[in-house]
Amino acid sequence: MVSASDLTRGAATATRVVPDQGLAYTTLGAPVNIDRILEAVTEHVADARGLDLTVIIDDVEPLLAEHGPDAVKELLEGVHVRVTDCQSRVVVGCSFRERTAASLGEVFDPVTDIERIDHSVAGALDALRGDDPTTFGYVRRHWTEAREGIERCDRNYPQAKQVHAVLSDPETTPRTLGMTLSGLVSLGVLDTWSETVGPTRYDLTAYEPARLWAVGATLAVDGDGGSHED
């Protein structure tokens, strides 16, 4: 396990190995960088060849904040290369903070990459599921298509049918997409435009992509029988 955190004082590296060598715990002080993390992993991989190996790296958020998504991708690729000869599993921890929230989607796919998540949106999803299970069901099934429509639509205040019109090969109808968008409004992902009569218009200027990422990740974890808690 490699603990790489900007909360650790000093630049020293400290490693503790339990007596049976089943666990090696390395703490890296600031500054956090790719080479230091990879060196810490490499030191222990040679003794683990042929064993079931789990590499845990926590927390990559400082690296994401200081060097961006490409640096985190480089780190993950480097770790995978170093554990290729082992029966290995790599687990990466990343704090959800406002300063890096917008970049998470460039590194981690909310559907396939997340096993555990601790985010306040879980409470909002539970409330929606209890208060309006039909709308919750639409959000759970169609949130990715809603994201595509929101991000491809060039209107600031479209109706659901206008968002639907930009989709390629949609599974939704304008009505079911509208239900999904309504659910996302209740989850704080976007807003409605109040200065209108007739069909609801959605305020895409209020769109929060990082919050929608958290919605998707939470739904994926819940659907896999996982836990919302870190």
How far is it, in rounded angstroms, from Cα 127 to Cα 114? Answer: 22
Kind and range of the H or E run holding 213: helix 209-223
The answer to which of 115-129, 167-181, 191-205, 213-227 has the lowest mean pLDDT is 213-227
More confident residue, 119 or 85: 119
Same domain assignment for residues 85 and 154 = no
User: Does some domain include residue 35?
Assistant: yes
Q: Does 228 map to a domain?
A: no
Give residue 31's domain range: 2-107
If DSSP codes are grouped into helix, strand and coil, which group holds residue 167? coil
Q: Domain for residue 116, yes or no?
A: no
Tokens 């845990």 map to which residue? 56
The CATH number covering residue 199 comes to 1.10.10
Mean pLDDT across the stretch 115-125?
A: 93
Give a yes or no: residue 115 inside a domain. no
Q: Sign (positive/negative) of CA torsion 107, 113, 115, 121?
A: positive
Query: Which of these three, 59, 82, 107, is where a domain ends?
Result: 107
For residue 62, is the peptide bond before it cis, meaning its omega torsion is within 30 degrees of 0?
no
The DSSP letter of residue 13 is: E
Asked whether residue 96 carries a pLDDT value surpassing 50, the answer given is: yes
Are 149 and 103 contained in the same domain?
no
Distance CA 7, CA 10 (A): 9
Kindly report, residue by residue over 40-73, the tens digit of the pLDDT.
777 777 666 666 778 888 788 888 998 899 999 9
d(CA 38, CA 146): 38
pLDDT of residue 37: 76
User: What tokens does 150 get?
Assistant: 């929101």
pLDDT digit string (tens) for 195-229?
766 789 999 999 999 999 999 999 999 874 333 43
49 and 129 share a domain?
no
Report yes or no on 230 lying in a domain. Answer: no
CA distance linking residue 183 with residue 131, whole number of Å: 11
Q: Say if residue 95 is in the same domain as residue 183.
A: no
Total structural domains within the chain: 2
